[in-house]
Amino acid sequence: MRRRSFLKRLGLGSLALGGTLATVETAQAADQRFNWKLVTAWQPNFPVFMDGVNRFAQDVKRMSRGQLNILVFAGGELVPALQTFDAVSQGTVEMGHGAAYYWAGKEPAAQFFTAVPFGMNAQGMNAWLYAGDGLKLWREVYARHHLIPLPMGNTGVQMGGWFRKPIRSLADLKGVKMRIPGLGGKVIAKTGVNPVLLPGGEIYTALERGTIDAAEWVGPYHDLRLGLHRAAKYYYYPGWHEPGPALELIINDKAWKSLPVHLQAIVENAAAANNLWMLAEFEAKNVEALQTLQQEHKINLLEFPADVIETLRRLTKQTLDEEAAKDATFRKVYAAYQQFSTRDVAWHGVSESAYARIMK
């Protein structure tokens, strides 16, 4: 009996000691402060994009009561804009914000996590990433780069671009020099267009001087701010090449693992909140900007001819199949994206798309 009593007391003592250690560790995690840097692919004061990133940092600071402070840098302020991926991957900084298709040269499959021509819109992308296997695949693809990705922002359906001359048929695209990146550029090149890569700050001058004949940027709000309506007369829709471009928050995996779980939860929820906020901002501001472009600037708002759209659709399938043949990871993500997208399109046929057809 004395032996059992001794062992019982020993067990209780061990439990008490374990509880004390756990309490100490929890208190230490609550007291630890983190000061992180976040670099972006966006120029300073870039509306909505930089607004969303700054809003995210403020939300994290408030929710964590100052335990995690994030200092935000625009592209070029700490590292060049298109070195965001490398800076976070290498651990030079803890966080970054950009668009996954910017890193296609390093990871071709990354393009699926921004936009695919004739692919899913913002609603479909969010469904795939949050409720399907999209985010899981994204993290698998980025794991070898030591990155944790999270969705944070979406522009919604973009515009098809500004053209100095009207596009009445497929023949009018031949020889056109157009600023258009990503998979869209590869697709439209097959029609005879010469795709040109230019940063946003150089588009207006190139279009106004005739260095390029056409350019796509973001949507009415940003196009109006850039003054593209003064450099080209014809504004085409829809944005077949970027139907719902998702933006990304990327986190260095070592830095991520250093965060207590409650701070990880704060980061995830702040990113999700700003994913919604940025999409809402784009929707509201594009509505107003398109009205201004039409009523005040009398632009020519035109839909791409049917033969152009159908040809681009066919060439998109051809381009994706060619890219899949070159890279196993691209092929894997393509299959998963296509499977989800097919079901999503079928649902939209009797929901969103069907409703759009009856709207007045």
- DSSP at 304: P
Q: Give the model's pLDDT for residue 305.
A: 97
Distance CA 70, CA 63 (A): 12
Kind of pairing between the strands at 214-215 and 246-252: unpaired
Q: Give the model's pLDDT for residue 29.
A: 62
Q: What is the end-to-end Cα distance of the chain in Å, rounded? A: 86
Q: Give the model's pLDDT for residue 128.
A: 98
Residues 284, 50, 230, 295, Cα dihedral to 10°:
10
The residue written with tokens 């609550």 in the block is: 30
Distance CA 48, CA 39 (A): 16
Report the SS3 class of residue 316.
Answer: helix
Residue type, 314: R
Nearest to 184 by CA among 169, 168, 195: 195
Distance CA 230, CA 250 (A): 36
Please report how the helices 182-189 and 306-326 are oriented relative to each other, as an axis angle in degrees rounded to 10. 110
The tens-digit pLDDT sequence of the chain (360 residues) is 555 554 455 454 444 455 554 444 455 566 799 999 999 999 999 999 999 999 999 999 999 999 999 999 999 999 999 999 999 999 999 999 999 999 999 999 999 999 999 999 999 999 999 999 999 999 999 999 999 999 999 999 999 999 999 999 999 999 999 999 889 999 999 999 999 988 888 999 999 999 999 999 999 999 999 999 999 999 999 999 999 999 999 999 999 999 999 999 999 999 999 999 999 999 999 999 999 999 999 999 999 999 999 999 999 999 999 999 999 999 999 999 999 999 999 999 999 999 999 987
Residue 156 CA, chain-centre distance (Å), reads 10
Distance CA 357, CA 351 (A): 10
Residue-range domains of the chain with CATH: 27-155+244-283 (3.40.190.170)
Q: Give the model's pLDDT for residue 36.
A: 98
Structure token pair of residue 83? 């070195």
| Bridge partners of residue 40, in order along the sequence | 97
Cα dist. 105→111, 276, 335, 341 in Å? 10, 29, 20, 24
CA–CA–CA angle 80, 152, 124 (5° rounding):
125
Distance CA 57, CA 66 (A): 11
Q: Give the model's pLDDT for residue 4.
A: 53
The residue written with tokens 């759209």 in the block is: 309
Q: For 296, phi and psi rounded to 5 degrees? A: -95, -35
Kind of pairing between the strands at 95-98 and 34-40: parallel
Q: Please check whether residue 81 is in contact with residue 75, taking contact to mean a CB–CB distance below 8 angstroms.
A: yes
Q: Give the model's pLDDT for residue 277.
A: 98
Report the SS3 class of residue 162.
Answer: strand
Nearest to 302 by CA among 222, 218, 238, 354: 238
Q: Give the model's pLDDT for residue 198.
A: 85
Q: Give the model's pLDDT for residue 22.
A: 45
Distance CA 333, CA 137 (A): 7
Nearest to 249 by CA among 79, 33, 70, 116: 70
